[in-house]
A and B are shown apart, each in its own frame.
Chain A
């Protein structure tokens, strides 16, 4: 069972667990985490599933692709070195990860 902790911009934390392989974006939208909009449904077509993921936690995930990089340039909240599109972050097995949500996605 994988576990994702969402830290809202105001510091409030919510924890979601998932049995199957799923993206952090899917977990957030299907389980009702406010703060992830995911307008395009996980196809790297928008930048509304933006999260901050500490660099030390990025190890298990693939690096930022060219398309993800291009979309991250257009996030509503500031892009930092920790910025990722959560649709590209797939969790499975015993992944236990913590992401911070931006102030806004639109």
Chain B
């Protein structure tokens, strides 16, 4: 496994669970034991005092299971000789290679382009640096109203810090959720005094702590801390250099194999077929599901398509947003009783594709179970299937695709294949 994130370590441990008898090595370029990433953007789970990240598996367990940890970066793959070259100069051979290289947050060039010192959130060290700065800040400006930006905004408000969120699109988490869920999320943030700037971009940043952030519409914001949370790009350079097909992620088939059938790609770095499109998902759940699939294929030798139903969650101010499924939608059925929770059921030509639940975890769990079952579900069936009585009916004006462009492929982005 190349990459010591959620996906890489899950392949390793799942291989052993499937009684795989071969050698298993996990190549961790980050140089530390694989750790939990979701807490990095959330309140209370990390603080400047946190001495170390939360490990995904104990070292002793990995040793016992015969999983070798190698704290080196892979610099080259020679697919002809089945060899990887590490940055410490050594080489290793493989029978199966799993690329689980993840993604890197965009915005590396922001400091140079706009001015100011921009944080990005990727590693535990990034998170420590960010939260240390937020702890002594009065104001934070977050560029990007996606899931990471909003989670950090919520956590920062928990520390009593004033927050501005600047988002280029017209709504919150636009690439992941329906307008109804965006609206509720925005309302929750507004209720916590977050200043949301939609349809808005930053032209320049001047000064220093506080920085003065200039928006395109002329507004100026003061910020002690700047965070760029504008999506991420797949780490597919190694694959490209190895001659594998790469196009906004490492291209894999429905079994998660690259064009070289001894090389797999999983998680944030992989672009896989889904209906008539290919998608790349950025979530722990997807990485873990794909990891288990590949481990099963390797351990059993039985090639079969991965049929995991994508799902995702976020917690902001104690509110939970959960999403199950993916795909195009032409109609949303909104079930909202005004009791604080609701679900949005998205359909494409009368068949369910996505269920979003806001503080409605039982709808989410039921949705995942039904979507896993694979039987088509039409809008009229929702009530009988056990969902909380749907009351609203809100056809969207046009066929929309939950998140769209390849340029902005964030979590749950969908791109049509030609």
On whether the two chains bind one another, the answer is yes
A interface, CB within 8 angstroms of B: 26, 29-32, 34, 39-41, 43-47, 67, 70-71, 73-74
Q: Could you tell me the distance between the alpha carbons of A46 and B369 in the complex, rounded to whole angstroms?
A: 11
Closest approach, in angstroms, between the C-beta of A60 and any C-beta of chain B?
22
Contact A45 B322, beta carbon cutoff 8 Å: yes
19 pairs across A/B with beta carbons < 8 Å? A29-B56, A30-B61, A31-B58, A31-B61, A32-B61, A32-B64, A34-B17, A40-B313, A43-B313, A45-B322, A45-B364, A70-B360, A70-B361, A70-B365, A71-B361, A71-B365, A73-B362, A74-B362, A74-B369
CB neighbours (8 Å) of B38 from chain A are: 41, 43
Closest approach, in angstroms, between the C-beta of B178 and any C-beta of chain A?
19
- Interface membership of B206, Cβ < 8 A: no
C-beta contact mask, B347-373 vs A, less than 8 Å → 1, else 0?
000000000000011101110010000
Chain B's closest residue to A45 (CB) is: B313
B interface, CB within 8 angstroms of A: 13, 17, 36, 38, 54-58, 60-61, 64-65, 284-285, 288, 313, 315, 320, 322, 360-362, 364-366, 369
CB neighbours (8 Å) of B58 from chain A are: 30-32
Q: Could you tell me the distance between the alpha carbons of A34 and B16 in the complex, rounded to whole angstroms?
A: 11
Chain B's closest residue to A34 (CB) is: B17
Chain A's closest residue to B285 (CB) is: A39
Closest approach, in angstroms, between the C-beta of B412 and any C-beta of chain A?
16
Q: Could you tell me the distance between the alpha carbons of A70 and B285 in the complex, rounded to whole angstroms?
A: 20
Contact B36 A47, beta carbon cutoff 8 Å: no
Residue among A26, A30, A41, A46 having the largest count of chain B Cβ atoms under 10 Å: A41
Q: Could you tell me the distance between the alpha carbons of A74 and B55 in the complex, rounded to whole angstroms?
A: 28
Given contacts A45-B313, A47-B365, 9 further A-B contacts (CB under 8 A): A26-B54, A30-B55, A32-B65, A43-B313, A43-B315, A44-B361, A70-B360, A73-B365, A74-B365
Contact B56 A70, beta carbon cutoff 8 Å: no
Chain B's closest residue to A69 (CB) is: B362
Contact B362 A30, beta carbon cutoff 8 Å: no
Residue among B284, B361, B364 having the largest count of chain A Cβ atoms under 10 Å: B361
A-B pairs, top 6 by smallest CB distance, nearest first, are: A74-B365, A32-B61, A70-B362, A45-B313, A70-B361, A30-B58
Q: Given the known inter-chain contacts A41-B38, A45-B322, please indicate yes or no for A30 contacting B64, CB distance below 8 A.
A: no
Chain B's closest residue to A75 (CB) is: B365
Q: Could you tell me the distance between the alpha carbons of A30 and B35 in the complex, rounded to whole angstroms?
A: 10
Closest approach, in angstroms, between the C-beta of A28 and any C-beta of chain B?
11
Contact B365 A67, beta carbon cutoff 8 Å: no
Contact B13 A32, beta carbon cutoff 8 Å: yes
Contact B56 A30, beta carbon cutoff 8 Å: yes
Closest approach, in angstroms, between the C-beta of B208 and any C-beta of chain A?
37
Contact A41 B36, beta carbon cutoff 8 Å: yes
Q: Could you tell me the distance between the alpha carbons of A41 and B311 in the complex, rounded to whole angstroms?
A: 13
Q: Could you tell me the distance between the alpha carbons of A58 and B117 in the complex, rounded to whole angstroms?
A: 50
Closest approach, in angstroms, between the C-beta of A79 and any C-beta of chain B?
12
Q: Could you tell me the distance between the alpha carbons of A15 and B351 in the complex, rounded to whole angstroms?
A: 47
Contact B288 A39, beta carbon cutoff 8 Å: yes
Q: Could you tell me the distance between the alpha carbons of A64 and B257 in the complex, rounded to whole angstroms?
A: 43
CB neighbours (8 Å) of B284 from chain A are: 41
Q: Could you tell me the distance between the alpha carbons of A45 and B56 in the complex, rounded to whole angstroms?
A: 18
Contact A67 B65, beta carbon cutoff 8 Å: no
Residue among A30, A45, A46 having the largest count of chain B Cβ atoms under 10 Å: A45
Q: Could you tell me the distance between the alpha carbons of A6 and B284 in the complex, rounded to whole angstroms?
A: 26
Task: Find A30's partner among B57, B65, B366 (CB 8 Å cutoff).
Answer: B57
Q: Could you tell me the distance between the alpha carbons of A45 and B365 in the complex, rounded to whole angstroms?
A: 8
Q: Could you tell me the distance between the alpha carbons of A74 and B60 in the complex, rounded to whole angstroms?
A: 33
Q: Could you tell me the distance between the alpha carbons of A45 and B61 in the complex, rounded to whole angstroms?
A: 26
Task: Find B361's partner among A30, A31, A32, A67 (CB 8 Å cutoff).
Answer: A67
